[in-house]
Structure formats: structure tokens, C-alpha cells
Amino acid sequence: NWVGELIYEGKAKRVYKVNDELLIMEFKDEVTAFDGARKEHAPGKGRLAAAQTVFFMQLLGKYGIRNHLVDWDGDRKILVKSLRMIPIEVIVRNYAYGSFLKRMPLVKPLTKFRKPLVEFHLKSDELHDPLITTDDIIEAGLVNYGQLNEIINTALRVNSILSEFMASRGLTLVDFKLEFGFDKSGNIVLADEISGDTMRILINGRHLDKELFRKGASALDLVRAYEEMNRLLNIP
Ligand code: C5P
């Protein structure tokens, strides 16, 4: 029974302002792909993605990774710290897939990288989230050099923690996306969501993530895959 004023509605989430410190993130029962060009109702998905986000944020918290999670209503809403968001998507890749293959077709699909790749995209719907360089980020004044290093190191630690955790359950973490923001004290804090919508996870070559929907599966099949992921990872 948290209350807040709706301040943002995206394709899969709504954000409400509770006060200066807190926001509610509500995960919708919707799935979209291709910049919203494909969209379907996905009953049950909101709760599953919220549960995944809560689980992974708590897991990372145990390893000392500061993140925005405060509380969960047990359903589709989480209470999070209000941050000044950095408008970039940080992508970590363990295997060649997705937009990496589009821009680098010389590498065979699903080749394991010698070391995880970290890349940055500007969050911009009009520009379709273009790939940007670290120099671009510094020149635009989004963060300073030390902060950028902290973001890269945190993203790589998140990757080690999540990859190992998944591997111990027979899953392969192909790649994922993170977002960060600044809290009131100027600390860099991991934010947004970590779910099947923002990762690629394989079990015996089969996706348990949104790639299923991108490849044409129904919203119902996607919800079943998220249920399977939660079962395999003991996510409530
Ligand atoms: O499409 P691409 O290969 O760049 O995606 C890399 C990873 O980042 C995938 O796990 C994808 O789900 C995630 N991603 C995301 N939000 C975006 C773009 C990519 O969560 N806007």
C-alpha cells in the first residue's frame, strides 16, 4: 500500500515518486521488442521480473555491491532509492551475441570472449541507444574518469557474481545490461532492473530470457520461461 505520483511510464515499467528519497518501480505484465514494434500482454510477467530483480539485487548486495533496492511488495512493485540516473546502458558480454554480432560479423555466434567485454550505449529512443566510447562519456560530462572506472569495475564484478551463480545451477550468462545513478552523497549506485528482460541466459542452448520473444515466441511462452528460471534459481 505504498503511494506515489506517476512520473514515468515506459514499455515494461511505471515509476512513481513517493518522496524526495524514494520511488516505486512497477513491473507491467507486458513484453515488448524491437523498440516497441512488437508488444504483447504477458500475464504474470511483472511479478516474475520483479522477483528476479529483487533476488539479483539482494545477491549482489551480499557481495557489497551498492544498489537501489529498498523493499518489495511481493508482487509487481519494488521500492527503490531515488537517484540521479546516468543516461547510459552498460552492457557486459561473455559470449558473442545480439548487437555485438551485427557490428562485428567476423566473430562466430556464441564464441566465448577471452575476457568479458564492457560497452556503453547512450539511452536515447530517437537514436536507438547508439554505442558510445568511454571518451564520449567523459567529454559529455556524464561522469568523470574515476567514476567511469568504478562503473566498469562494478559491472565486471556483477558479471563474475552472476555468472558463477548461474553456472552453479547449470545456466550460462551470455550478456546483460546495467544502469547506474548517483545517490545524494554522490555514490554510484546500481539501479533499474536485472531480469530476463535485461539478460540473456541459456540452459542447454535454450533461452530463458526475452530473446525467446524477440525470436517470435508468444508472451505466454516467455512467462513460462521466466517461471522456469525462477524455479531453477530458487527465486520465490
Ligand atoms: O541487443 P544487445 O546484444 O546489445 O543486448 C545485450 C544485452 O543487453 C542483452 O542481454 C539485452 O537483453 C540487454 N539489453 C537491455 N536493454 C536494452 C538493450 C539491451 O536490457 N535497451
Ligand 1 is surrounded, with C-beta below 6 A, by 89, 91, 97-100, 129, 175-177, 198-200, 210
Can you tell me which atom of ligand 1 is nearest the CA of 211?
Answer: 12
Degrees (nearest 5) of the Cα angle 43, 93, 217? 30
Nearest CA to ligand 1 atom 12: 198
Query: What is the complex's ipTM, to 2 decimals?
Result: 0.98
Nearest CA to ligand 1 atom 3: 98
Mutate to test the pocket of ligand 1, among 91, 117, 129 (most ligand atoms within 8 A of CB): 91
113 CA → ligand 1 middle, Å: 17
Nearest CA to ligand 1 atom 7: 176
What tens digit of pLDDT does each residue of 77-136 get? Answer: 999 999 999 999 999 999 999 999 999 999 999 999 999 999 999 999 999 999 999 999
Mean pLDDT of 19-30: 98
> Is the separation of the CB atoms in 42 and 20 below 8 Å?
no
The 3-class SS string of the chain reads CCCCEEEEECCCEEEEECCCCEEEEEECCEEEECCCCEEEECCCHHHHHHHHHHHHHHHHHHCCCCECEEEECCCCEEEEECCEECCEEEEEEEECCHHHHHHCCCCCCCCEEEEEEEEEEECCCCCCCCEECHHHHHHCCCCCHHHHHHHHHHHHHHHHHHHHHHHCCCCEEEEEEEEEEECCCCCEEEECCCCCCCEEEEECCEECCCHHHHCCCCHHHHHHHHHHHHHHCCCC
Mutate to test the pocket of ligand 1, among 103, 180, 198, 222 (most ligand atoms within 8 A of CB): 198
Cell digits of residue 18: 513517493
pTM for this prediction: 0.98
Which pLDDT score is estimated for 31? 98
What share of the chain in percent tops pLDDT 90? Answer: 99
With CA atoms as reference, report the closest residue to 206 among 170, 168, 154: 170
198 CA → ligand 1 middle, Å: 6
- Bridge partners (DSSP) listed for residue 72: 78
What tens digit of pLDDT does each residue of 163-196 get? Answer: 999 999 999 999 999 999 999 999 999 999 999 9
Can you tell me which atom of ligand 1 is nearest the CA of 200?
Answer: 10
With CA atoms as reference, report the closest residue to 57 among 40, 74, 69: 69
Confidence band of 1 (pLDDT split at 50, 70, 90) = confident
The amino acid present at 174, given as its one-letter code, is V
Nearest CA to ligand 1 atom 15: 198
175 CA → ligand 1 middle, Å: 8
Would the CA dihedral through 228, 231, 235, 236 be positive or negative? positive
233-to-51, 55, 143, 170 alpha-carbon distances in Å = 11, 9, 35, 10
What tens digit of pLDDT does each residue of 205-222 get? Answer: 999 999 999 999 999 999
Can you tell me which atom of ligand 1 is nearest the CA of 174?
Answer: 10
Cell digits of residue 20: 524526495
184 CA → ligand 1 middle, Å: 28
Can you tell me which atom of ligand 1 is nearest the CA of 91?
Answer: 8
Nearest CA to ligand 1 atom 4: 99
Which pLDDT score is estimated for 48? 98
With CA atoms as reference, report the closest residue to 53 among 67, 41, 63, 42: 67
231's CB contacts (< 8 A; 6+ apart) are none
